[in-house]
Amino acid sequence: MEALKLGYSPCPNDTYIFYALAHGLVATPRPVEVVLEDVETLNRWALEGRLPLTKLSYAAYGRVRERYVALRSGGALGRGVGPLLVARGPLGDLRGARVAIPGRNTTAFLLLSLYGEGFLPVEVRYDQIMPMVARGEVEAGLIIHESRFTYPQYGLVKLLDLGEWWEERTGLPLPLGAILARRDLGEELIRALDGAVRRSLEYAHAHPEEVLPYLKAHAQELSEEVIWAHVRTYVNAYSLDVGEEGQRAVERLFAEAEARGLLPSSSAPLFL
């Protein structure tokens, strides 16, 4: 049987969730071939429909809803998980400021665009943002993933927590990323894959020490303290099942982005 390509990032939350699935430790309806890539690369690939099963920023999902559907398991939503805007010191106004961003298809960039206008985005890979800000090549940086825990090491200060901003405005958790399946796989296979992702996460919860070497092999930050802080922050009950509240959060994000012309509208169902 032909293997199904599964794309996810090397960040600890993804490698934690998919460890068991990637190593054949849980039952899957089809063999799986792992493709590890930066999330913005996966976002761009999804615009082409390249991978049948892939991690994606919710902002990118908003552009491919006709082709993909989100699984209920494996996603990243929550409270206290937002992207941060950092700089070397206080900034008066973002208008005209160069801001390093981790990609135009990321949820982080979508949130910053909802927050304010007039800044000048400079698109770079997420792990290059803090060094750029520290060197003064840009006025600010929009950081994601484990950078949330390490930016003080670069002498940077937090200007804005976009997760806090979102939660205060909406009262909802912040949607960051989801696991998407191409709709042409068919509902039966997609539901079976959703179950496999959930089993993989349950395995990780039951065997965290077994999972750790895989996390360390791919993480940008090798400190076990930072790795587990990352996992605790981004892997939660919404990762097992997005739930009603999580679904309402995604619907709110898309509605606000559509109203501002930042995402196209679509009537395709968001989840299984």
- 194 contacts: CB under 8 Å, gap ≥ 6: 71, 72, 73, 74, 181, 272
C-alpha closest to that of 129 among 119, 120, 139 = 139
Q: Determine which one of 145, 205, 218, 230 is catalytic.
A: 145
Q: Which of 233, 237, 57 is nearest to 148 (CA)?
A: 233
CA dist 186 and 179 (Å) reads: 16
Closest-CA residue to 129 (of 145, 118, 114, 115): 145
Nearby residues of 71 by Cβ (< 8 Å), 6 or more positions away: 178, 179, 180, 181, 190, 193, 194, 197, 271, 272
106 Cβ contact partners less than 8 Å away, ≥ 6 residues apart: 39, 40, 43, 57, 59, 60, 83, 144
DSSP secondary-structure letter at 271? Answer: B
Contact by Cβ (8 Å): 235, 40: no
CA dihedral angle for residue 30, residue 31, residue 34, residue 35, rounded to 10 degrees: -60
Active site residue 145: yes
Query: Are residues 60 and 177 in contact, defined by beta-carbon separation less than 8 angstroms?
Result: no
The residues annotated with a catalytic role in the active site are 145
